[in-house]
Each structure stands twice: as structure tokens, then as C-alpha cells.
Structure 1
Amino acid sequence: MAQWRSTAEFRFTKGQPTETIWFYEHPYPEGQKSYSKTRPMRVEEFAPEQAWWGNEADGFSTRTTTEQAWSVDFKQRMADAKAKAKPHWDKAEQLSDEASGLSAELRQLRQQLKTLDKKSTDRPVLQKQIQQNTASIKTLKAQQARARQAGDALYWPIFNLDCKNPHIGEQVSHDPKELLARYRQQQQSMADTRRQIKDILDTALSSQREEKA
């Protein structure tokens, strides 16, 4: 079975946004599974890519999708990602505004507390309000961070150009190094999920304690 290494073709033109990204999967030479110092790449191997490349003068009109070449509509991909991420980003902005409002109120309360006599009966009331505002601001900032992260998680992966050839079926690797790397990635993902759940529970319990207080 032929071995392949996937490469992305980028053509950035000044003043023009990137709308389409082309990929070309270059095959290793017959009987070769990787490149090395003793078995390096050879220029003549890239004759098929050179023939396929086309001419920028006519907008690469001759370039076509093949078993080794495919394109990604990056413009549409970005638009879709922004649409999905926007509600989360908007929520983060809303939470940020709420936290800013409470922060301004908190500064006023602290200033009022400084002007009160130490024996004033209003001090306990102000101190309680300050504690509540401080806790609320902390909760809002934690919620804001999660909302922002949720939006970013939907948007930024579009720039990950590790794109598999859609013309080739799923290939299962039995390489121990790849399996261990995949296992570590899964463990990290599980740890991140546990941390997110813990943050949500901590926030919920904190709010309940504040209500009871």
C-alpha cells in the first residue's frame, strides 16, 4: 500500500482574503515509508504536483480535484464558525459588562465604608453588600471565561490545517507511538472536561451559599 504525507498549498495574495485552501497529498516513493538523510526527497518526485499546480495568471483554472488533491472553502468555513461562536462571544461580552457594572458599584461601596464611623450601624450592611458584590463579580468573570472559551473552541480550530484526504477511507494505525499520543490526548481532554464540571459545580455551590447567607 502506498504511503502518503499530506501537504497544504497556500497562496497568499496581498490585499486579498484567503477564500480557498488547496491540499495535495504527496505519495512516498514505492517501498518507502518516510524520508531520511539517506533517503531524502528528490525534485523529480514532484513532477505530478508541478503539472497539477496551474497558472496564477488565469486563476489556476486548470487546477482540479483529484484522488490526491482537494480544496477547502475557507471563506464559508470561517463564516460558519463565526456564526456558531458569536452567541458565546456575545454572552461573554454581556457578562463582562455586568461584572464591570458591579465593579463600579463595589468601588462606591468601599468608598462609602471608608467615610463611615467605625461604630456606625450601617457598616455591617455595607460590608455584607461588598462581600456579595465581590462574590458575584468572581462568578460572572468565571462564567465570562467559560463563554469565551466555548466560542473560541468553535472558531479557532478552523485554522488547524491537519486535513485528511476525503478520498481515502479511515486508516487505523497500530503504531505504538501514535496510539500513546492519542491516549495522552484523550486523557488530557477528559481532565479538561473534569475541570470544567468542577468549576460549574463550585460556582453553583457558591451561589447557593450566598443565597442562604
Structure 2
Amino acid sequence: MSSAEQNLITRLRLLPAVLGIGAALLVAGCGAGQITQTASQVPAVNGSMGTVKQIAVRDAQLAYPTGKRYYSRGDSASLIVTIANSGQTADKLTSVSSPQFSSGAQIVGDATIPGFHAIAASATAASPATTTSAAPTSTTGTSTTGTSTTGTSTTGTSTSGTSTSGTSATSATTTTAVSSDPNLPVGTIRIQLVGLNLDKLQAGQTVQVTFTFANAGDLTLNLPIAADRSPRSDN
């Protein structure tokens, strides 16, 4: 066998190895550049989300009204939300308020969020509380704010901060807390906004809600109404 034939056979034997190395480098390059279908995707949730310091509020929304298509004046509305604490120090949700619900809010259950843990609020309506109400909360004073998003679109920074003098209005809503409920699983609370001051609130509209935490401060989000989960009737 001639020298040229031997070189040809050697090159043919090396060809699969070279192609394999090239394919591996191409895959590694794609991974490093995050050229994937999921690299630019956002969470598929209907509610609003935002962060303030170590506290993250996720998928926050009003429960769909029971037995009808909209909330009427004077109605109460339950909140659906998950609150996560990414820090080592525990925090606590101390109050919830909304300018669209003038009778305040109720928090049922232990709203403490331990470090590296989360709590969730279900859509079950809270029972009327009999404990002493906490001190009224208002929009005056300084507070820490975070950024917020609604669904998959950004709504900008939260709307709390230092109060302005003059004709600015304050919210005199009161949050009533019930420390425990034997029917609630661990890590679960109930939040209910009380006394809608609008004639009608329906799907497609949003409500401004401020979550106040003992350490992290205030986070204001625009909350949508959750989708109707009842079966659709065929006409």
C-alpha cells in the first residue's frame, strides 16, 4: 500500500471524531449564549407580582366573585397571593389596604414569613373578625417601595413613598388581624378586602392594593380579578 493511500485511510478514520467534536462545541455555544425557547419566557400567571427588599409577592389577584359576574358596592373580596421571603430574617405582613375598599381589610391566620419560606392566601372568604382592630394605616410617612408587574407586562415602580402635603388624600382603612384559625393549614392565611366603594368591579378592571410588611415596608400593586373557574354552560 502506497503512502498516499495510507494517509487517505487515516484521514477517513479521523473524520467521525472531528465531526463529533464540532457538534459538541456547537451545543456548548448554544448553551452559553442561552439560545433556547425558554430563555426569554416569563411566568404564565394571571396575577400581579412585585418585590420589596427580600419579600416577593407573586400571582396576586382578587378572587372571582361567587355567584355573579362582578362585585357590587359594599361587597368584600378575597385575595389570592403567594408571598416569599428570600432573606434569612423573618418578616410579617402587618396590613393590607386599598382605596377601592373603604372599610379596610381582614388578615386571618399567622402572616409571619420565616426566612427562606413562603405563605399563601387562598380564595376562601374570611369570617367576620371579633378581635381589636389595629391602628389605622395611611399613605403618609416614608416607606420602602419595590417594582411591580401585572401579568406579563411591567406596570412600573410601586406608588408609595413619602407623603405630599396640601390636598393629597390619605387612606384611613383598618386591617383587622386574627392570629390563628384551626381550619387553616400551616403556611396559609386569608386576606379579605371589605366594603367596595365602587358601583361595579368586574373582570378586566384592576384594584390598587398596598401590602405592608414589618421590615420590608410597603409594596403597591394593581391587582386584576382572577378568571372564572366555574364550568361554562353550552347554549
TM-score class, shorter? under 0.3
Greater relative CO, 1 or 2 (CA 8 Å, sep 6+): 2
What TM-score do you get using the length of structure 2 for normalisation?
0.18
What TM-score do you get using the length of structure 1 for normalisation?
0.20
Q: Whose helix proportion is higher, 1 or 2?
A: 1
Which structure has the bigger radius of gyration?
Answer: 1
